[in-house]
Amino acid sequence: MRLRIVRYVLAVLAVAGLAACTPGTGGGTPSSSSPGSSASSSPSGLLPDETESPSGKPTPSFSPAPSSPGLGEAELSIIVKLSPTATPESYTLVCTGGVPSAESHHPTAAAACAALKKNPALLTRTPRPSDQVCEQRYGGPQTAIVTGAVDGVGVESSYKLTDGCEISAWAAVADILGSSGAGA
């Protein structure tokens, strides 16, 4: 009888854990942009890199596998909030040939430009598979929004630290997010 109860409890916990990983259940997304920034909320309430699933829930997106080297041309606006009540930190990153230009106001500009030249698709996020399981751990309240263009391709991506998948996505672009990205 005890074994049956233990199995039942484990099954309930497993289902609850999977439900917590279901796309669209994460929190910690920025609710508004700072004055004068180019980031904005979409009318549907989704973040720029989210799509709506058939169930009506937002589906977060994740970074793809590395691509071939690019031209190293980028013009990005990066907004990082360390907490929901913190003043947003705003960075500008302009890269020419994989090297930061004088217009860049970014704490790790050289590393960010080099990362974008090595993998221009780094900021392109694709939908999370519905069956993907993410480690349930919280990395902090930090959020980030990156908008602009890399090698002529538009970029609108957001990042948060709400579970293992999001923490991995943040870590993959930490150089681009700047010094505040080190909190992951």
| The model's pTM | 0.61
Q: What are phi and psi of 150, to 5 degrees?
A: -130, 120
| Contacting residues for 122 by C-beta, under 8 A, at least 6 apart | 63, 66, 115, 116, 150, 172, 173, 176
Q: Are 95 and 74 in contact (CB under 8 A)?
A: yes
* pLDDT at residue 181 is higher than 50: no
Tokens, residue 45: 């309430």
Neighbours of 172 (CB within 10 A): 19
Residue-wise pLDDT for 5-64, tens only, equals 545 545 545 444 444 444 444 443 333 333 343 333 333 333 444 434 344 444 444 444
Taking the CA of residue 101 as centre, how many other CA atoms within 13 Å lie in the half-sphere pointing to its CB? 12
Burial 60-97 (b: 16+ CB within 10 A, else e): bbbbeeeeeebebbbbbbbbbbbeeeeebbbbebbbbe
Please give the residue that has the higher pLDDT: either 98 or 60.
98
Q: Domain-by-domain residue ranges, the chain?
A: 46-183
Output the pLDDT for position 51.
39
